[in-house]
Structure 1
Amino acid sequence: MPDSHDAPTQPGTSRSTSATIAPNILRCLRPVTDAYGVDLRPELNRVGLDEAMMRSAALRVSYRQGSAVIRRALELTGDAHLGLRVGAAQHLTSWGLLGFAQMAAATLREAIETGVRFQNLSGAMVVWSAGPEETGYVLRAELPDPALDPPVAVFLAEEAFASVVALTRLSSGQEFAPRGVEFAFPSPRDTAPFTELFRCPVRFGAVSNCLVFPTSWAGRPMPGRDPVTYTAVVEILEEQAASTRDRQDLLEVLEISIAQGLPEVPSFVEQARRHALSERTLRRRLVECGTTYEAVVDGVRRERVEQLLRRPELTLRDIARQAGFSDVRALRRAVHRWHGVTPARLRADAADR
Structure 2
Amino acid sequence: MSFVDVGSKLVGTTLGQEPTASEGANMSENGQITTSPGRAGLRDTVSARLVRFVVDATRAAGASPGCFTGLPDLADEVLADDLVRVPTSSATVVWEVLTALRQGGLATELVRRSPLGTFGVWDYLFVSGATVADGLRDGFHYRDVICDAGSELLELHTDGALLTVWHRTCVAEPAVMAAVGEYALAMVLSRCREAARQHIVPVHVGFAHPLSGTRGELADLFGTSRIDFGCEANTVTFLAADLTAPRADVRPGLSEVLRAHAEMLGTAAKPVPDWYAVFRSALTAALFEGTPTIGRVAAQLHLSPRTVQRRLDELGTTWRAEVDCARADHAARLLGDARLPLRAVASRIGYRDERSLRRALRRWAG
TM-score > 0.5, shorter chain as reference: yes
Q: Which amino acid aligns with 1:142?
A: R
Q: Structure 1 pair 18/235, CA: closer, same or farther in 2 (3 Å)?
A: closer
Give 2:165's aligned residue. Answer: 139
Structure 1: tracts of 5 or more residues without a match: 1-12, 248-287, 296-332, 335-353
Structure 2: tracts of 5 or more residues without a match: 1-36, 278-309, 312-366
Give the number of equivalent residue pairs: 240
CA deviations on 1:296-334 (whole Å, 9 max, x unpaired) are xxxxxxxxxxxxxxxxxxxxxxxxxxxxxxxxxxxxx99
Give 1:229's aligned residue. Answer: 254
Does residue 109 of structure 2 align to residue 85 of structure 1? yes
- What are the residue-to-residue correspondences of 1:180-195 with 2, within 5 Å? 180-195=204-219
- Larger strand share, 1 or 2: 2
Rounded Cα–Cα distance in structure 1 between residues aligned with 2:250 and 2:164: 22
Which one has a bigger Cα radius of gyration?
Answer: 2
Rounded Cα–Cα distance in structure 2 between residues aligned with 1:68 and 1:17: 19
Normalised by the size of structure 2, how large is the TM-score? 0.57
CA contact (8 A) 1:141 1:160 kept: yes
Does residue 46 of structure 2 align to residue 21 of structure 1? yes
Shift of 1:104: 2.3
Shift of 1:28: 3.0
Q: Which amino acid aligns with 1:69?
A: V
Q: Which amino acid aligns with 2:121?
A: L
- What are the residue-to-residue correspondences of 1:1-353 with 2, within 5 Å? 20-36=45-61, 38-39=62-63, 41-48=65-72, 49-77=74-102, 79-123=103-147, 126-134=152-160, 136-145=162-171, 148-200=172-224, 201-222=226-247, 224-241=249-266, 243=267, 288-292=270-274
Q: Structure 1 pair 55/240, CA: closer, same or farther in 2 (3 Å)?
A: closer
Shift of 1:81: 4.1
Q: Structure 1 pair 83/25, CA: closer, same or farther in 2 (3 Å)?
A: farther
Q: Structure 1 pair 40/134, CA: closer, same or farther in 2 (3 Å)?
A: farther
Shift of 1:225: 1.8
Q: Which amino acid aligns with 1:53?
A: V
Shift of 1:19: 6.2
SS in 2 for 1:91: coil
Q: CA RMSD in A?
A: 3.2
CA contact (8 A) 1:184 1:209 kept: yes
CA contact (8 A) 1:41 1:50 kept: no
Rounded Cα–Cα distance in structure 2 between residues aligned with 1:45 and 1:206: 37
Q: Which amino acid aligns with 2:159?
A: E
User: Which moves more between the two structures, 187-196 or 130-139?
Assistant: 130-139
